[in-house]
Structure formats: structure tokens, C-alpha cells
Structure 1
Amino acid sequence: MSTAREKLAAREAALMALVGAVRSVYVEFDRLADMKRDLRDLMDRDHGASEAACHLLAGPSGSGKTKFILDFMADFPRLPHALVNKLGEKADHAPIICTKVPRTGTRTLAEQVYEAFALRTAPRNRREQDLIKDIQGFAREMRTQLVILEEAHQPFKKKGDYAAREVAGFCKDILNEATFAMLIVGTEEALRLKGLDEEFDRRCIHTHRLASLRWDVPDECEDFLDVLRACDAHLAEAVGVLSRLDEPEVAIRLHVASRGLLGYLAVLLEKAGMIAVRDIVHGPRGAPSRSRNPASHCLGSRAPMSRSRPTRGSPTPSRCRTPWTS
């Protein structure tokens, strides 16, 4: 009996892991491909010839910033001990370094960037400016081309311009003699970094925006449907059936529930997939089996599913116009 339960538990755990991976499904739209191209151009820029430059990426929570960054970084993995200097000393080759900005001040931020490079605790007795010089030295040794600062809005969230000016000044200082570029990522509040420090503004040469996908914009609607199709194909590996998430009646309601934000959509589909897996593994005894279709769980009931599909450029049904897409 215990063996049967263990097998059942193992099967459930494997299916749950597969369902959970739906949050990592990535679909590259044209605008994401353009952002990648701009970042590659930034990495290839000769920063030694003048001041190093940075880009700003802003978007609401759930807009897909982190997923975009992870996919971009996958093309530039960190290679341990891949570089050897003239003295025979080895160093990692790290084209991209990424870390999250802490809620506290710039001293803690300097320590965090140091630790992302060195993979060890930063010395507590070093001044902020000394840590910045250490970071610049690490970058030269490790041939780093890009440093990504996520959650850049955290230190000055709901605070005055002084806190934002401190972060802008830190980024300006670290770029002064840097041989690498920087990507600063945050919510819309991160846009406050611009306009507070003239030198930082000069170094910040481009601003990218990620927003929710609008249903009433044909290209964005098609992008949303492409994501649904990719997620549907992924979930089908766990539940054994396509849920037809891109059918109009289902897609519209998923768009409303997620507000067009792909991060929220992924969480919604993950929860629905988990319920479907439990139904598959622990179907009620002596009762009709419940649906294994994730769409029926994330929408609350078996929604009617039309077989027609909207195509790029097709008119938007009036019932889809929600307050956040109008």
C-alpha cells in the first residue's frame, strides 16, 4: 500500500514540477527581439573610448522583465576559470553579471554588486568608492560587458527624490571608469532616476518600456495568443490534452483575469494546471472524473469554446474592451 502511495506521490510531484515550469515559457515578440538587439549593441560598444553607457528598462510588475532578462542572459553564461592571466591566475569569464538592488542605501548596493562578481562576501571595512574600484577591476579581469541591476526602484520606492538621486549618482560613479555597460531594471518608478543627475542622464542613452499587452491592438493581441499557445503546449505535457487556451472565449477571459500581464498569466495558468494534475492523480472515487482541462479551472467553469481564432489584424470584439485596455 505504501509503495502505491509513494508511486502516486512521485507521479504527482513530477507532473507538478512540469506544470510549474510554465512560468519559464518564453515567447519572443518583435519588440523583445528589438530590445535584445539594442542590448547586444550596447555590450559591443567601446566604453573605454569614453564614459560607459547604460539603458533603462521599466515596466509594471508581471510585465515579463525578469523572464526577458533570464532568456537574454542564457546566451552569455558564466564560465568558471575560463580565463588565465600572464601570472597563470585563473578567473571566470562572466559576460553578464546580474544582481537585485537592495532596499537599503548605495553602500549595500556596492557590496551586493561586489558579491555578484566575486561570489564571496564583500569586506565590511572597505569604503563605497573602494568597492566600486574593486568592481571595475573584477569586470576587466572577467571581461564583463554588461551589469544588470534588477529592482532598481526598491531603494527609493515611496520615498523622495533624494533617495533616487543617490542611486543615480551610484550608477554614474560606477560607470565613470568602467569598461562595461549597465542595464537598470525596475517598475515605472525607476523612471524617476532620469532628470535628477545630469551626468547620469548623459550616460543613460536609451529607455525601454514593457507594458501589459492590449487586446484592442491587433499585434499585441496576437502576441498574447502566441503566449497562450506556447503555454498550452507546455501544459499538455502534464495534463495530456490541449486546453485550447487561444480560443476566443477562453483567451478573452484570461486576458481580463491577467490584465494582459504575462507574469500574472503564468501564475494563473500554473495554479489551474496544479488543480488539473490533482484531478488526474486523485480523481474522486465513484464519481465522474473532473476535467483535466486547465482552462476550465482558471476560468471557474467549462467556458464555451468557439472554434474560430482571431488572426493578426482582425477586429476586436467589443466585449473585450476592458478599462485597462481602452
Structure 2
Amino acid sequence: MAARGRRRRSRLAAALVVAAFAPVFQGLVYLLISRLHLDENLSLEVSSALYMAVAVCLLGGRRMLVPSRASFQNVWRLAWPILAVSLALTCTQVAGYASGTERLSPHWAQNVAYYVVFCLCIGIYEECYVRGVLLGGLLSRFGRSRGALWACIAVSSVYFGALHIDWAGLNYASPLELAQAALKVAQTGIYGAVLSAAVVEDDNLTGAILFHALDDFSIMVIPYALFGEGLSTNYVSSGREEAMSSIVLYAVLCVLYLPSLWHAIRRTRTLPQPHHGGFVMSDAGEKCGDSCARPWADEPPTPPAGMPHVPAHMRKTAAQEHGLDPGGARGR
């Protein structure tokens, strides 16, 4: 037990080191990009995605990156209303451009391909970072009960929301900017909690990665890919009119995301406990084998109800069927 606890603490410590080093890594990549005159946005996302994917594998979560149809189905069942909201916002973008004088970018086809890769890298980076490294590290140490599971999900989700705010550039004296920041953290935090619930169901990140990429692409494809606007990731506006619009939008999104959050909470109530995440495949700290899939493998079957006595020759036959001797020891 002591060795098992040390392994789980070491995984959490390693995960926190990876997370803490992420800004340093991005700073070093940014310097390299500037020297080589590469595309800043795409190069940074590609390198960050590779960094976090490798980190997940080194922490013991390689299985979490194996493509899984069931993983996407889990995410879809919980989060499809969120994607529906994003598509509705895309429709409003289409209506806005249709009523204006803007023209399609002459490079729209190249832009679409660019943003497909860009959004996929965002999905890989953020899911491996938050739902992989951070949530996986927390669960490996603290995932002993259902309450601890949701505490880990809450911490990682609030952190995910905080990643979307430029805290250094925030005007803390402006109530409007603080309100935008708080509501943006809440909106993306709910989004992250829903994806986290889907990820912990089968300890696989691929469904969340694909869903995240699709959701981001649905928002970016019209203004940035088709009409060639400059990419902006500033979610806090300084102008009063823009700030009020953002506050209303974030508040409405929080409300619209609540049904998915409620379903996510209900789904996690059915998960077996303890749940130590994808870095720890079983409570014994080892990868599950056939014994995890067949919990009865190490013990003879119990008699059905209503049968107070089972003849000795029948007990021997049942034990032999499961590779046991009549005394209960595993056969060779």
C-alpha cells in the first residue's frame, strides 16, 4: 500500500511539473518561431500539442490516446447540446455576413485547411493538458471516492476556464472586465466539466479531442477561414458596448450548458469507485488484465439463492471449470 501511494503521489508531482513547465515551453517555442519567421499561431499550437501528447504518454496514459469510437460516443451523448449552441452561433455569423458587404477571402480553401489543422491541435493540446495531465494526475492521487472525483473535475475545469483569460492584461479596476472574466471562466469551466465527465467514463481522450476541435472549428470557420479576418483570442472587451454584449453572451451560454452539466453529473454517479484515472489502470496500480474483466476469476461461484446445500461432487466440478482445485487454490 505504501509503495502504491508513493507511485500515485509521484504521478501527481510529475503532472504538476509538466503543467508548470508549459508556459516556459511555449516561451521557448515562441523565441524559435520568431527566429525562423514561422506562422506564430499554428507553430505554437502544433508544438504545444506534441508536448502535451508526449507528456500524457510518459505519465502512463498512452492508452488514453488510442482512437476510440466509444470515447466520441460518450462525449457526444453528453455534449451535443453544446455543439448545437455553437452551430446556432455560426448561423448568426452567416446571417451577419450575408447582410453586409464583406466578400469571401480569395484564399478561403487554404484558410479552411489551415483552421482544420489549427483546431485539431487546439483540441489535442488543451485536452491532453487539462483532461489528460492535470485531471489524470489529480485522480491518480485523490480519486478515492465520488466526492473526490468531482472535486478533481471541478479543479481542472476551473483551471481550464482560467486559461482563457489574459490575467496580466485584465483591468482589475473595471467591473465590466471582471464580470466578463468571471462569466468566461464559468462558461468554459462548465464546458470543461462536461468533457471531463465523458473522459473519465472510459479514460480516453480521443473523443474529447475530436469534439473540442469540431466545436472550435464551427466557431472559427466563418469569420477567420472564409472571410479572412484576423484571429483574436481576447475574450474580455474594454469598450462598454462590447463588454455588455460579451456579458450577456457568456451568461446565456452558461444557462444553455447546464443541461449537459446535469447529465454529466448523473453519469458520473454510476462510475465504479475508486476511480484513479487513465494513469492508474486499476486500484492495485497496475494495468488491468483478464482478472479486471472477470472479477469472479479468483473465487468459485456462489450457489444460487434457494439452494442451501450443494453436493461435494458438484462443488468440485464447478471449481474445476474455473481452473481451481477443490480447496480454492488456482490450478496450474
TM-score w.r.t. structure 1 length? 0.27
Bigger Rg, structure 1 or 2: 2
More strand by share: 1
More helix by share: 2
